Structure 1
């Protein structure tokens, strides 16, 4: 009830909302967190005892949500808890990994790592949103119309399906959302004739590629296929989240559907947690220009005031870089936009590693977060 009330309240009041994009969330167990934030731990434990159960035993049955495995994910989850507790209008976005964690066991040969299947039964804390689905394109080419407008076409298109997880605040009615994206393909993408002809793998190629995107957190990137999969994951998160953010911006006031993009930065703050979601910058530019029809200058002004970046390290091995070949192959339109940003924006050295706060209250942004010009 509080979850729905929170959404309706922010929908009606239309405040500036923070959207936190992170590849990891290390949530911990939701049951004890929820009853603790509601300040009913004692009462809940007493109620369970009447049925012959101990709270610790029940809590121990819950699987950790395998959405992260380190400090980056724990920090992201702490931020969501804090924002909910402070009654701030905010929302988290991530990926719904099937095997985001691993478990260890000792065998004769030594330590082994195997996948942790936290979804082998189901997660009681998530709600699948079949009404929230966005198309995500990969590969393809850029088409130029007679009037000079550019459009990304061809390639393969998967769907991003939303799963919502409640994040309750501590001793407050505010309950915000963590929206997780899962990759799916449609029935039309399954070739029934090939399957009946015995070509089983070919018949379900797109379904197989969809399952790969959210299968594992940080897949190995020693091969080009591994690099492509990692880049797919990051773009999948950015594109689905930004499409959702733009939809909500329009939904809250009907007159925005026809314009008023100058209002966007006053209503939306997109916070990128480390380098993984930095494709949010060229993707927002693409959506504003190619889909919404804005010119470069207007789109850049909106993007520059909307997106902020949290830097976690200055070590070069931790700052991601992508080869132009991989980027151009998977995201040809974005490579064009990145090259144009590189031409138009001069990054001052003292701004390269500038820190921004998670709440993104300022209108400043580090242009493309340390990666600009390093492809």
Structure 2
């Protein structure tokens, strides 16, 4: 069955049998692009096959563009994996990307070809781009700056990745009614985002609460508490008129099947049975949850540590992956291959978390771990306004991150005792 398509004037639907539904992932000619869009409308279906209205056309068009990005994405990853340069990793709680479709076809210099292809399918490019919802990953200058940095680094052919959180509802959407301003949850993921690729093989444990266990050898280990899994979703970031396509890796918080208590559920204790699943969903529910209560403070701190821990575990994994098969190596090489840039105060827990990972998981001593950490992590401060310089009470920190309080107190002790 051919895909039913509306003519440009929106009147009678027409039959696109003259446009084959064939996959042309790297197409540049309008006819082949139209064929690839038609292919995704038929064989990557998300809607009823009996209509091809602007919303359906947007998703099929986005998937057609994504085909091309994935090819460049894989080539970029393989190139940097082989060359093994020093790579920048940008950690930010916010990203304000704008419309990915317009940005992608502009950077790839194929906007005119896509406009012609969509005309063949009975649509205008401008109408299709209007269908895209803004990714609710940020709300202001901090997020816009982060996205501009990623775009610029991709354009300059720099080896760089961004890390953030995959917020389910972002902040809010606003409506003006007779009663005034009304705020409702942002629904940018109500259907799905065609730009993200879930990486089911990239998942890391992130611990909260628990206590510190001291082993007979004197080494310390953070144990028990809650463990939430961080699952990676990757978004391609293409450079302008270059093949370099880098990644924005977003973390989603997940609990696993073992965390669902089937016996409690069958006993009617429905909320208790899925308690950890509920707590996991809260972490990436919204950007900047209210922190007027202790629970709100704990949730904000959870968000920030979740981003830091998952990202650093991933960075360390990639560093080791690139060392495989290259003979012996030392942790002193880490800062020559990794640069972690913290966007404002939100990801600063990356400093004690990298110390913990290096000492407790990798077996480094304090001095070596501190040397690696201080040569790896850099920090950007955007303002000195008190509301932007976050403060956390010792009680909240010690409750949620007991091992990190030990590390922070030791850092403070050593800095205060060192000569100026």
TM-score with structure 1 setting the length: 0.91
Q: How does 1:165-176 map to 2 (within 5 A)?
A: 165-176=235-246
Q: Could you tell me whether the CA contact under 8 Å between 1:102 and 1:115 is conserved in 2?
A: yes
Stretch deviating more after TM superposition (81-90 or 40-49)? 40-49
- Which one has more relative contact order, counting CA pairs under 8 Å at least 6 apart? 1
- Residue 199 (1) aligns with residue 290 (2): no
Residue 318 of structure 1 aligns with which residue? 388
Give the superposition deviation at 1:101. 3.2
Q: Secondary structure of 2:142's match? A: helix
- Residue 236 (1) aligns with residue 306 (2): yes
Task: Give the count of matched residue pairs.
Answer: 349
- Residue 250 (1) aligns with residue 317 (2): no
Determine the C-alpha separation between the residues in 2 that align with 1:256 and 1:298.
Answer: 22
Q: Could you tell me whether the CA contact under 8 Å between 1:23 and 1:277 is conserved in 2?
A: yes
Residue 125 of structure 2 aligns with which residue? 55
Residue 79 of structure 1 aligns with which residue? 149
Q: How does 1:110-259 map to 2 (within 5 A)?
A: 110-254=180-324
Bigger-Rg structure (1/2):
2
Give the superposition deviation at 1:347. 10
Q: Secondary structure of 2:390's match? A: coil
Unaligned runs of 5+ in 1: 351-375
Determine the C-alpha separation between the residues in 1 that align with 2:417 and 2:167.
Answer: 35
Q: Secondary structure of 1:151's match? A: strand
Residue 9 of structure 2 aligns with which residue? none
Residue 293 of structure 1 aligns with which residue? 363
Q: Could you tell me whether the CA contact under 8 Å between 1:192 and 1:203 is conserved in 2?
A: yes
Stretch deviating more after TM superposition (253-262 or 6-15)? 253-262
Q: Could you tell me whether the CA contact under 8 Å between 2:323 and 2:329 is conserved in 1?
A: no
- Residue 30 (1) aligns with residue 100 (2): yes
Unaligned runs of 5+ in 2: 1-70
Q: Secondary structure of 2:387's match? A: helix
Structure 1 moving runs of 4+ over 4 Å: 255-259
- Residue 280 (1) aligns with residue 280 (2): no
Q: Could you tell me whether the CA contact under 8 Å between 2:107 and 2:241 is conserved in 1?
A: yes
Determine the C-alpha separation between the residues in 2 that align with 1:43 and 1:217.
Answer: 37
Determine the C-alpha separation between the residues in 2 that align with 1:242 and 1:108.
Answer: 48
Q: How does 1:315-354 map to 2 (within 5 A)?
A: 315-346=385-416
Q: Deviations over 1:169-227 (max 9, x none)?
A: 00000000000000000000000000011000000000000000000000000000000
- Residue 101 (1) aligns with residue 171 (2): yes
Residue 338 of structure 2 aligns with which residue? 268
Determine the C-alpha separation between the residues in 1 that align with 2:326 and 2:221.
Answer: 23
Give the superposition deviation at 1:73. 0.3
Q: CA RMSD in A?
A: 1.5
Q: Could you tell me whether the CA contact under 8 Å between 2:233 and 2:250 is conserved in 1?
A: yes
Q: Secondary structure of 2:94's match? A: coil
Q: Deviations over 1:241-279 (max 9, x none)?
A: 000000000000126897510000000000000000000
Residue 67 of structure 2 aligns with which residue? none
Give the superposition deviation at 1:30. 0.4
Q: Secondary structure of 1:172's match? A: coil
TM-score with structure 2 setting the length: 0.82
Q: Could you tell me whether the CA contact under 8 Å between 1:250 and 1:256 is conserved in 2?
A: no
